[in-house]
Structure 1
Amino acid sequence: MSALRYALVFTAGADTEDGTRDEDVVVVERTTATGPGGHPVYTDPTGIIRAEISARDEVRVLASGGHQEPPRGVVARRLPS
């Protein structure tokens, strides 16, 4: 069964000065919607970040507006309910 909440981790392409990569973390919650792959859709409180996440924690970021290019390499980490 899919989790109710996830932390989506977006990794920037460039290393920082200390050799690590910048990460942005966004918490998303499950909605009643289903994505194109048949998996639940999760969204952040603003509705800007929308992602379909499978039971195996595979992420497909969905466009929430025109002219958006979905990011690659996003990792989903399950959060406690």
Structure 2
Amino acid sequence: MTTERYELIFQQAGPGEDPSGDDIVVVHRTSATGPGGHPVYCDDTGIVRAEISDSGEVRMLASGGQQALRRPTATHVLG
């Protein structure tokens, strides 16, 4: 069974700080596969793209030029 949606959390707060400012992005599975052969997930805008393995390893993928990719600090399965 393949996961259809993930929540990617990009930490903005430092250790011990309020995490309410963290960026949370929901991504859904697409029909594409990434360079590692795992499903590609993207947000509704198509800007945030990530290849996510069955074991939850995340590889961020560029959706355009000049994009600075950051790895999420946490990933949660949504369904």
TM-score band, normalised by shorter chain: 0.7 to 0.9
User: Is the contact between residue 59 and residue 74 of structure 1 (CA under 8 Å) also seen in structure 2?
Assistant: no
Gaps of 5+ in 1: none
User: Is the contact between residue 51 and residue 62 of structure 1 (CA under 8 Å) also seen in structure 2?
Assistant: yes
Partner of residue 4, structure 2: 4
Partner of residue 18, structure 2: 20
Q: Give me the whole-angstrom Cα distance separating, in 2, the residues matched to 1:34 and 1:28.
A: 14
Partner of residue 59, structure 1: 58
Task: Write the letter of the residue equivalent to 1:48.
Answer: I
SS in 1 for 2:44: coil
After TM superposition, what 4+ stretches of structure 1 lie above 6 angstroms from structure 2?
Answer: none
Percent identity between the aligned chains?
54
SS in 2 for 1:28: strand
Q: Taking structure 2 as the reference length, what is the TM-score of the superposition?
A: 0.85
Q: Taking structure 1 as the reference length, what is the TM-score of the superposition?
A: 0.83
Normalized per residue, the structure richer in strand is: 1
| Count of matched residue pairs | 78
SS in 1 for 2:22: strand
Q: Give me the whole-angstrom Cα distance separating, in 2, the residues matched to 1:8 and 1:57.
A: 11
User: Is the contact between residue 56 and residue 75 of structure 2 (CA under 8 Å) also seen in structure 1?
Assistant: yes
Q: Give me the whole-angstrom Cα distance separating, in 2, the residues matched to 1:34 and 1:68.
A: 20
Mark the CA change 1:55 to 1:41 in structure 2 (over 3 Å): closer, same or farther: same
